[in-house]
Amino acid sequence: MEQTLVLIKPDGVRRNLVGEVIARIERKSYRVVALKMMHADLETLGKHYAEHLGKPFYEPLLEFMMSGPIVAMVVEGHRVIEGFRKIAGTTDPTTAELGTIRGDLGADQGTRVVQNLVHGSDSPESAAREIAIFFPN
């Protein structure tokens, strides 16, 4: 069974959307097999976003992700990586399709980095790497 890392970012937690995001995942028949709420530290986020080091949005992204608690989940199911990314919608909440998490619940807040509620791994390799960062045991 394929697994993916899903993060509910600080804006989603702050807006009390944790239950809504999990409900959408479960309605798609995926299973949450690990879940925790946490304050992500600089070391964890540095590993997670290492590919973006040096890009202009890197520092604002880390600041945003440390601005409040996040919910980290391992979600399991057949083709779950592709499926969750479809549920999440495109990264820009302004243009994300209605019916997706970002399209229904997100809005561009005009901040230094787009606050788009959720993260989902983009490949099996990324999923394995990201799950190991947030769930090392």
Helices (H) and strands (E) in the chain, counts: 7, 4
Q: What distance in Å separates the CA atoms of residue 57 and residue 20, rounded to the nearest whole number? A: 28
Helices (H), the chain: 10-14, 18-27, 42-48, 58-65, 80-88, 101-105, 124-134
State the Rg of the chain over Cα. Answer: 14
Residue 39 annotated to the active site: no
Query: 3-state DSSP helix/strand/coil percent for the chain, to nearest 5?
Result: 40, 20, 40
SS3 of residue 91 by DSSP: coil
Q: Which of 39, 48, 78, 119 is catalytic?
A: 119
Active site residues: 119
